[in-house]
Amino acid sequence: MKLSFTTGWLKFLIGWSAVFLFRLIPFRPPNFEPMLATVMPFSKRYGIFGSFLFGFLGIALFDAATSGWGIWTAVTAVCYGLLGFAAHFFFKNRDASVKNFLIFGIPGTVAYDAITMMIGPVFDHQPFAVALFGQIPFTLMHLLGTITFSVLLSPAIYRFVVRNESLEISWAFLQKT
């Protein structure tokens, strides 16, 4: 008897690599990055755990390879993980369409930025007003990235990576009967 299971780890590696490589582009505008736009298509297919893991590890692995880990890693990784978690429930009974990517992505970005803005005031004793006023242009740039990538990247990731069965790795084992 043959026992087999299929895994989407190759797809996760493709998604993480796309985000990682884009984030390494020199002189790109700050906070103009495709993380949420990549999390959303994965959340349609990979359940609560897979969606959380995609967002969480996408940040944790990038920071490990670039800036190192700090409190910002814990906060941002958990936030992106929770966005993946929320996206799973949002997309569970909705189409993976540009409209829905925007409907989830825009408020998701605002919520993410509102929470991560608190890193300075809570951990570095930065005045709240300074954090808030500094956050406004940062969030506007983040929203521009979310909108751009939700229109251009999210549908392509969903169609050519997430739904592409040829990118799934199947493991087969022989089981004694």
What are 115-160's pLDDT values in tens digits?
A: 999 988 888 889 999 989 989 999 999 999 999 999 999 999 999 9
Architecture of domain 2-174: Orthogonal Bundle (1.10)
Question: Which residue's structure tokens are 């991560």?
Answer: 116
Average pLDDT on 7-20 reads 89
Residue with tokens 């910002």: 72
The answer to whether residues 59 and 76 touch, using CB atoms and an 8 Å cutoff, is yes
> Is the pTM above the cut of 0.85?
yes
Sequence-ordered strand ranges (E) for the chain: 2-7, 169-174
User: How many helices (DSSP H) and strands (DSSP E) are in the chain?
Assistant: 7, 2
pLDDT at 5 over 50: no
DSSP character at residue 29 = P
Percent of the chain with pLDDT over 90: 69
Domain boundaries, the chain: 2-174
pLDDT at 4: 46
Angle, alpha carbons 110-11-161 (nearest 5°): 80
Q: If phi over 0 gives left and psi between -120 and 50 gives alpha, with beta otherwise, what is residue 27?
A: left
Tokens (6 digits) for 63:
């920071």
**Gap between the Cα atoms of 79 and 100, Å rounded:** 20
